[in-house]
Every structure is written in structure tokens, then in C-alpha cells.
């Protein structure tokens, strides 16, 4: 292909990507990639289109090709790490982003993404340090400021959080994502009323933002006292079952087995035995647990109903039906267990 024709095609693809016409942009890049499969600009534009349309698995394949074609290009490793982070592959994302920073230390976007990855692994001090390094290159960088805000919210440093989010709102260019991030920070420190305002503003600018829709529902649910109290423990359990924590746990178990020459099958058997004992304890204390579960479901259901009637446009009909069926099924199981426990108690 003649260089001038190739350049024209890539300019058109880039313009289409900017206009959110992703399928057309990808079709244009395919014309160049058909003749030059490792063309880095074409792969880069195609990757951006897939990322923006949230087709992350396809974007990961393109990022792999880009990294293979340009192993010494920091951007290739950054895109690869960014997509891995979107797929919640946090350990792999961290390795890719650190590789990008080895190749180019002056890379605020990479520092911003890495700080968020570290924050999601609950490594707050490292996230704070990386974000500050990124801000030394670009004091107005949105992702680095967002990472600082999240760290401050996690540490419950309200004054610093307000200062950071105020500055973030002043300098942020992509206002819908800035409002979302500020709302998330206030939700994390237990200020749901403030968070609701920011999530609503984010949705006013981008009504299709699924993350803002979900977090708005969660913030409204936080205003219900019983639900918010129990929700703290649910969020903690989510962290302890995250991919990162599970991966670290597996590595720790393997290292202990090697160190003390314990057979891995024996270790798994002991783990299963402990699980069975835990299950037995649950059966013994089934009634109080079921009462807590009923309270949680009732308050959650009340929060959801309130959210639905105040923000009905957030919920497609299918989601509402699925939620109602789930609640009904959960109540049926709980009632069955309570009745079984009551029958057993009165027949002996």
C-alpha cells in the first residue's frame, strides 16, 4: 500500500474513533493490517476502539500483538496492562505497567493506571506513592488525583479528600468520569448523600454509565441503616475473595508446603475438613444467621424498591424481574431452613 494512502486510511480511522464510530474505525484499520499485520499505529487505533467500546477480551488480543510487534515501546506495555486491569487481572497488570515505566519513566498515564491497580489490591501506601510520582510529571493528571482521593477516602481523611476532589473537579476534562470518581470517594467514607449528588451528575452527562448506575443504587442503599451496617461486612468479604488475595493465598500455601515438606493433597484435605467443621457450626447456629439474612434481604429490598421508584430510568425491566426472582428464591430457601429447624426442634 502506498504510504500516502495508508496515512489517509489511518487518519480516517482515528477520526472515526474520536466520533465513537468504533466499528467503522476498526474496519479501516483492518485494511492496513491486512497488508501489514504488525503495523503499530493501526493496532493502537484498533485497541483504543475496542477499549472504548468495552470489548476488553478482544482488546487484550490486540494489545498482545502490539507488544509482540514493539517490545521496546512503553505504550504497548501500558495498553496491555490497562486492559488486564479492566479484566481484573491485577497482578499481571501491575507487571505490564511496571515494564512500561522501565522503558519510559516520564509517563503520567501509566503512573495513574498503576496507582489504581495498587489501590484495588489494598496496597494504599504504594498507590499513594505512585500517584504522587505521576503528579510530579503532570500536576493535573485525573487518574493520579483520583487515586489520591480514593486513598484519602479509605483512610477517612475527610479534609484532604475534599481538597483533592475540589481540585479534581476544577481540572478534570472528562467530567462524567470525574463526577463518578468523586462520588465513589465520598461513598467509601460513608457520605452517601454527597455521593448520590455526584453519581446523579455523572449520569446526567452519561446516562449509559453502568458503573455510576450501580454505585448510585449502592449509595442510596447506604442511607438505610440496617443495610449499610451489614453491607460493610459484605464488602470486606468481597475483598477477601478477590483474585489478588486468592492468588497471594495460593502462593503462600505452596511455599509453606515446600518449606515444611507438607503434601499438597494432605493440605487440601485438611482445608476441606475445616470447611466441613465450619459448615457444622453454621447448621448449629442456623436460626440467628437466618434472622440476620432476613434483615439484610428485607433492608436491601427496601433500598432497591426506593431506588427503583426514585430513579426508574436506571433499571431495565429484565433486571427488575431478575432481582424479584432472586429475592423470592432467597426468601423461599430461608423460610424452608427456618421451618426445618423449627420442626426438628418440636419433634424431638
pLDDT, the chain, mean: 75
Which is higher by pLDDT, 264 or 71? 71
HSE-up (13 A, CA, CB side) for residue 306:
16
> Percent of the chain having pLDDT more than 90?
17
Residue 278 has a pLDDT of: 59
pLDDT at 313: 47
pLDDT band at 159 (very low <50, low <70, confident <90, very high): confident
Mean pLDDT across 21-36:
87
At residue 295, does pLDDT exceed 80?
Answer: no
Lowest mean pLDDT among 16-25, 72-81, 225-234: 225-234
Average pLDDT over residues 145-159: 84
Cβ 144 vs Cβ 113: under 8 Å: no
Average pLDDT over residues 151-157: 83
On the question of pLDDT at 97 being above 70, the answer is yes
Q: Which residue has the higher pLDDT, 156 or 344?
A: 156
Q: What confidence score (pLDDT) does residue 132 get?
A: 93
Average pLDDT over residues 56-81: 91
Q: Which residues contact 109 (CB under 8 A, 6 or more apart)?
A: 78, 141, 143
CA angle 292, 298, 301 (to 5 degrees): 135
Q: How confident is the model at residue 164 (pLDDT cuts 50, 70, 90)?
A: confident
Report which of 306, 310, 332, 305 is spatially closest to residue 320, judged by C-alpha positions: 305
Cα angle for residues 284, 287, 289 (degrees, 5° grid): 90
- Residue 142 has a pLDDT of 85
C-alpha cell at 143: 487518574
Q: What does the block give as the cell for 190?
A: 460513608
Going from the C-alpha of 331 to that of each of 179, 217, 229, 242, 298, the distances in angstroms are 37, 21, 20, 27, 9
Q: Which one is predicted more confidently, 195 or 268?
A: 195
Here the cell at position 331 is: 426468601
**Alpha-carbon separation of residue 78 from 13, 70, 231, 327 (angstroms):** 21, 12, 35, 42
Of the candidates 50, 82, 52, 53, the one whose C-alpha atom is nearest the C-alpha of residue 67 is: 82
Weakest-pLDDT range from 58-62, 81-85, 265-269: 265-269
Tell me which of 220 and 123 has the higher pLDDT: 123
pLDDT at 239: 45
What string of DSSP letters covers 271-311? Answer: HHHHHHHHHHHHHHTHHHHHHHHHHHHHHHHHHHHHHHHHS
Amino acid at each position: 500500500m502506498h504510504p500516502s494512502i495508508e496515512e489517509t486510511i489511518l487518519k480516517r480511522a482515528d477520526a472515526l474513533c474520536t466520533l465513537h464510530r468504533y466499528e467503522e474505525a476498526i474496519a479501516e484499520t483492518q485494511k492496513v493490517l491486512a497488508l501489514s499485520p504488525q503495523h503499530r499505529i493501526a493496532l493502537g487505533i484498533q485497541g483504543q476502539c475496542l477499549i472504548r467500546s468495552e470489548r476488553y477480551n478482544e482488546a487484550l488480543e490486540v494489545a498482545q500483538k502490539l507488544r509482540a510487534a514493539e517490545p521496546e515501546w512503553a505504550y504497548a506495555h501500558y495498553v496491555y496492562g490497562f486492559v488486564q486491569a479492566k479484566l481484573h487481572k491485577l497482578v499481571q497488570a501491575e507487571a505490564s505497567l511496571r515494564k512500561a515505566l522501565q522503558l519510559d519513566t516520564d509517563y503520567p498515564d501509566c503512573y495513574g493506571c498503576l496507582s489504581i491497580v495498587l489501590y484495588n489490591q489494598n496496597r494504599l501506601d504504594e498507590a499513594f506513592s505512585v500517584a504522587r510520582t505521576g503528579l510530579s510529571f503532570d500536576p493535573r493528571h485525573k487518574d493520579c488525583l483520583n487515586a489520591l482521593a480514593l486513598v484519602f477516602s479509605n483512610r477517612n481523611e475527610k479534609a484532604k479528600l475534599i481538597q483533592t476532589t475540589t481540585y479534581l473537579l476544577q481540572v478534570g476534562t472528562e467530567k462524567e468520569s470525574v463526577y463518578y470518581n468523586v462520588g465513589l470517594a465520598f461513598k467509601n467514607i460513608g457520605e452517601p448523600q454527597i455521593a448520590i449528588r455526584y453519581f446523579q451528575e455523572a449520569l446526567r452527562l452519561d446516562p449509559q454509565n453502568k458503573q455510576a448506575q450501580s454505585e448510585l443504587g449502592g449509595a442510596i442503599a447506604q442511607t438505610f441503616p440496617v443495610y449499610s451496617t451489614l453491607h460493610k461486612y459484605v464488602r470486606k468479604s468481597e475483598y477477601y475473595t478477590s483474585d489478588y488475595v486468592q492468588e497471594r493465598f495460593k502462593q503462600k500455601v505452596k511455599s509453606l508446603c515446600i518449606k515444611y515438606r507438607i503434601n499438597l493433597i494432605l493440605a487440601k484435605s485438611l482445608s476441606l475438613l475445616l470447611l466441613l467443621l465450619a459448615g457444622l457450626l453454621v447448621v448449629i447456629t442456623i436460626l440467628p444467621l437466618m434472622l440476620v439474612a432476613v434483615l439484610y434481604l428485607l433492608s436491601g429490598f427496601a433500598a432497591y424498591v426506593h431506588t427503583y421508584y426514585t430513579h426508574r430510568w436506571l433499571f431495565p425491566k429484565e433486571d427488575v424481574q431478575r432481582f424479584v426472582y432472586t429475592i423470592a428464591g432467597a426468601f423461599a430457601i430461608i423460610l424452608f431452613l427456618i421451618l426445618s429447624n423449627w420442626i426438628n426442634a418440636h419433634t424431638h
